[in-house]
Amino acid sequence: MIRNEFLTFSGITEIPIPEFFPALCVLNDDDYMRAVAIIREHLNASQMDSDTEIACVACGETNPGNFGVCWSCGKPLE
């Protein structure tokens, strides 16, 4: 199960607080290796996303591809 999956961009805080980060929780020890594979896949995808850049349609500022909202104006990125 994923804890805090939607909390990061919920607007509670703009400061990244580890307690609010999404966390993959393994309920059954037998699923541990599957969980590790999922996290590796996610980290690899995030790395690829951060290598590309997205221009904000609202303000034109350039953002890393793994950003969900523009760092400059806060508008959601596509």
Instruction: Give the residues lining the site for Zn ion (CB under 5 A).
Output: 56, 58-59, 61, 70, 72-73, 75
User: Within the chain, how many helices (H) and strands (E) appear?
Assistant: 1, 4
Residue (49 or 61) nearer to Zn ion, CB: 61
Min CB(28)–Zn ion separation in Å = 43
Min CB(69)–Zn ion separation in Å = 8
Min CB(75)–Zn ion separation in Å = 5
Classify residue 70 by burial, with Cβ atoms within 10 Å: 0-12, 13-18, 19+: buried
Distance of CA 42 to the CA centre of its chain: 9
